[in-house]
A and B are shown apart, each in its own frame.
Chain A
Amino acid sequence: MPAVTQTREAVEKLGQSTYKWGFETDIEMDMAPKGLNEDIIRLISSRKEEPEWMLEWRLAAYKTWQAMQEPKWAKVAYPPIDYQDAHYYAAPRKKPGPKSLDEVDPELLRTYEKLGIPLHEQALLAGVEVPEGERMPVAVDAVFDSVSVATTFRKTLEEAGVIFCPISEAVKEHPDLVRKYLGTVVPAGDNFFSALNSAVFTDGSFVYVPKGVRCPMELSTYFRINARNTGQFERTLIVVEEGASVSYLEGCTAPMRDENQLHAAVVELVAMDDASIKYSTVQNWYPGDENGRGGIYNFVTKRGACRGARSKISWTQVETGSAITWKYPSCILQGEGSVGEFYSVAVTNNHQQADTGTKMIHLGRNTRSTIIAKTISAGRSDSTYRGLVRVQPKASGARNFTQCDSLLIGDQCGAHTVPYIESRNMNARIEHEATTSKISEDQLFYCRQRGLSEEDAVGLIVNGFCRDVLKELPMEFAVEAQKLLQISLEGSVG
């Protein structure tokens, strides 16, 4: 059985490829003591100089959380998390409010350089204008552990009327907007992790696009967990008014650590009449080593509300990192004729576990949703697509198309598809297609006969498998994602 032996050897080699973003940055940190209680929440709130209503909101969430149980229904296994054994606030120690590049810790900037963040934007931070039309500008908000350290292109955005800033700043400077929308899509008590996030979130991004404005550039946030024993609880809120649109990108990395770190983010999107939001994620948190030691627990709640007629929310995600991913970016299709889309590539390797998918809740008439989920499992990893399509009685003419494809590499990994389909309207049309396949020896041999190395052949085949999703990503991100897929599966055969 040379083929099987080969694949098994391949799988064993999988873990040897190193995580290329595993460096740690030596920055002086301002840290809260370990543990979670009301005092810690008060400390976070006061560090962030929050108004009273925000503190009360947090404390209410904390009370809700205390009464809740950690969800156990996902197909993931991990030892109990001691929520008292983590720091809930860690911030680079620095002068408050870096308004220019000079004020940002140079160590931090070097970190972002290593991450390959288009540091071009650094110049903009420093107030240097870049010649027009050189490249598609991307505004970047960088969140380091718990704190947003730098947001670029703010001036250009302001001129267009777009607000793009750390949410901690929005709480102070745009309290009416934040109060109006925060927690309206994902209520604090929605689930265990959203309640935890609501109590202790420290930063994240806030985006507001006013009526009729097409955001003039891609907005991007880079998240990095750096400090040991810290959780990262970012909170993102994006509100797009009537006829406006925005494309938002999110990238994540973390250093290599033996212990697991918790990441529990909440993302809320609100789209009004004819508004559109495109939310793209390339998630590359540290996945743990080849024996499954360390790595990020990624327990994330992402949800978008298509409140307006003909509004559209599109989620695209490329998930390659994290020891555990528990994530279901969803759309509530309330407005008549609103559209929800979910395009996902999830890659698991070694001992990674992913339980991810989406929820499409059809409330309004003639709402439409599309789900394309591609799952790639290698090593001893386990990956589950879990998706809900629900059509409520008033959603006449609702349509959904779902396609779930799984690709297995080796014979010790698993792929599972768990679709929940609930239709309460006779006029709804729901389609579900699913396939499971393996990279065949025939395909590998064919490519190698044409001169491709085995790794290049796997990369080519995997990218082909994911093409329907990758083409949904903004251009610059698509190239990055392709490389990331290849790196994640490096050594997965041969």
Chain B
Amino acid sequence: MKARARAITLLAALLGLASPWFGIPGWTLSVATVAAFTALALIGLNLVFGVLGMLAFGQAAFVALPGYVAGMLELLGAPTLAAMLAGVVVTVVVAAVVARIFVQLPGTYFAVGTLGFSFVIEGLARAFPEWTGGASGLVFASGRDIGPMAWYALATSALALGLLAWHFTVRTARDRRFRTVRHDELAAAVVGIDVARVKVGMFTLASGFCAVAGIGLAYYVGVLVPEGAGVNRSLEYVGTLLLGGAGSMLGPIVGAALVQWLFVVAGYGKQFELLLYGAAFLGAVLYARHGLVGLAAPLWRRAVSDRTGHGERADGFGRRAPELGDPALADARLQGLPAARGAAGGSGEALSVVDVSKNFGGVQALRSVSFSVRYGEIFALVGPNGAGKSTLFNVISGVEPPSAGQVLLDGERIDGLPIHRRAPRIGRAFQVARLVPGLSVLDNVVTRLDQIAPDMPEAARRGAALRQLRQFGLEGLAADDVAVLAAGQHKLIDLARAAVGSPRLVLLDEPAVGLTAAELDHLRRLLLELRDSGCAVVVVEHNIAFVSSVADRGVVLDGGALIAAGDFSSIIREPRVLEAYFGVLS
């Protein structure tokens, strides 16, 4: 089983290593060396672009910067190795700072911001010729003495280490986290992931790969020019990665080798080079989302699967088919969670909303709304369209800060906390389930536990998630990719994710929308079970019939203000409520 895959992998690696001696025209030792270093830089790009989906359009800057730093230090008399090390360190520090600034930018601005950074580094390299060699380039003399074989060995070893580091970085639990961030930042924050920190960390780490590769390239090629930091080079890297396969382990190697080789071979094709490159880039974006590696994946699967049919899933992350956990393992551990203690008590005031107001420009979406929710009850938030329910929900879960007022949980103010820090105590399900396709149902649920119970071993986390799924009657789906399931199932899975790890408060946004009658019954049972476990449940719901059948108490909002509060079955009969509802509906 695995031995076969390992043998084939090892063989492919050896063949790749020996390829410069096969006599392939244009694929010489020096081209292969440059390709190996480039692949290492692309692994870095792959971490931010492929794994987290950040549009890093300025990565060439982090490839050129270490070389410039090292070269300038050498001119000042620093020994070569110290200069190299300093180059890498400075680059990583700069990247950490840049990441902290840029990570606040939404996708588009992040793309253009990094592009701009690339322009700035290129421009600076050009503007100070007395230090950087200007447009003539900074010439490195010291690297040429170790000989082509040694360089090749160095480049391929660095690449091998880079692959190992990649493997370590995207291993199981982190892979789940990264996929969630990549797919949906809000969902990621709601399950407790500090999105900004993940992005900053990844960007900084990625720059380390680029920096090591950049040092290698600078000393091996022997000259560094401003264009090497520039926008065109950065975009070239993105194109190369896309061609090889963004997000996959081998994408950088396949892309770098192919493009470097094509540069040599097609370099003689003169003006068609750019055309082919553009067509390949666009083709990859449109039709081969996982590049050449993605196209080759079915072949690979066939090659490694032996007669028993157990193959490793070659989705590029090297993840195996999901293993189900053992619920028994989880039981003891989960009791130790901080969130669980309050829920176990199941009495007293859970959530208090005190005089909360929210303005958007001139529009007042909420006008000093106050109410409180107790443990062990289902609390409904109803009101006509535009009443401010969603805004209120967003304020409680942390998506929007209130303009005035306080939100307290267990008597402790939470309105200043970022979303991900509320996650251990607050579970939230969405109107349209925000699950991560490509991950199994179990993995989607485990993602929340990864964050709120990081000390639990992986197997125990899986066990706890499985127990939650069993409770929800979803155990049979645990191993399925959520992408193949129906919308109704998505909603229940989303709910299971919100409820896993015993949060004190569960927020549900229109849970009944889109469910069949049978699913509604199921949902009702689940909500009651959740309540009986001592949890406080807040539901925003339009389906008054459904919500009447579960809610204990509730409030009615209209025009951003509370118009009724109390026992749910009585408040919805109040004339003001009927008027607000039917006045709008008629």
Q: Do A and B come from one complex?
A: no
